Amino acid sequence: MRVALAQIDVEGAAVDANVERAVAAIREAADEGADLVCLPELFNVGFFAFDAYQRAAEPLEGPSLSAVRDAAAEEGVALLAGSVVEDLAETEGGPDEEGLANTSVLFDEDGQRLLAYRKHHLFGYESAESQLLTPGERVPTAELGEFTAAVTTCYDLRFPELYRELVERGVDLLLVPSAWPYPRVEHWTLLPQARAVENLAYVAAVNGSGDFEDAELVGRSTVYDPWGNAVASTGDQPSIVYADLDPERVATVREEFPALDDRRH
């Protein structure tokens, strides 16, 4: 499977322009042979544009997700639609509650929804995210090609128990849309790598690029293999990162180094 991490420039509150950039990145990645394109966290509104969350909120059938889903389906590629601010009350068949959530959606190459993941761990430290949004409760998985995939989001990286739960459920590909800012560059490079090493799984961590009023994203979208090797990465400017993933690589590493079998509960 060829994965493309679309590290697009995300402008705060510029929903239409951000979606246009996302669609362009999807089409470019498809032209380069990608099977799966991944967009960053809150790719349409920008994580730090807190004042715009309410007016940018949409159901899972809303305009931003529909635009990127349709573009990916036209190109015949699977898509991780990073995340959007979801209006829970408006989502058809969604959770029976009101409020907003930070929600990522994984679509197959035909545009069918495989899973919707609502961010579990909302950023604290007096961040507006934890004040404005509702945390998710479900941790879904999906079959994607020859992989069993799951999605977690940004701050989730600091909570390893979430990833161990997923691996116990057979996950071998972890997709992590993010909006990780300076100055915590070392944490951004350390934590996805650690999640790959301890779980002997691929981790594809896609970040955005761009400046906000009081934050700048570090970029550095990276794919880590099951040994924790960075097999593809980039800097902090807009770009697309490509990596070819081999499901047999996960099985081989887990057989050669069966650390998961040595756990004591």
Catalytic residue among 58, 86, 129, 154: 154
Tokens 């990522």, located at residue = 104
* H/E element, 232: strand 230-233
Provide the H-helix boundaries in 57-199.
63-75, 128-132, 160-168, 185-199
The verdict on whether 38 is a catalytic residue reads no
User: How distant, in Å, are the alpha carbons of 57, 140, 236, 244, 251 from that of 104?
Assistant: 13, 11, 22, 22, 27
The verdict on whether 92 is a catalytic residue reads no
Catalytic residue among 38, 58, 119, 129: 119
Q: Are 138 and 106 in contact (CB under 8 A)?
A: no
Catalytic residue among 11, 41, 58, 129: 41
Distance from the Cα of residue 256 to its chain's centroid = 29
Residues with Cβ within 8 Å of 108's Cβ and at least 6 positions away in sequence, in order, are 78, 114, 144
**Would you please indicate which residues are annotated as catalytic (active-site) residues?**
41, 119, 154
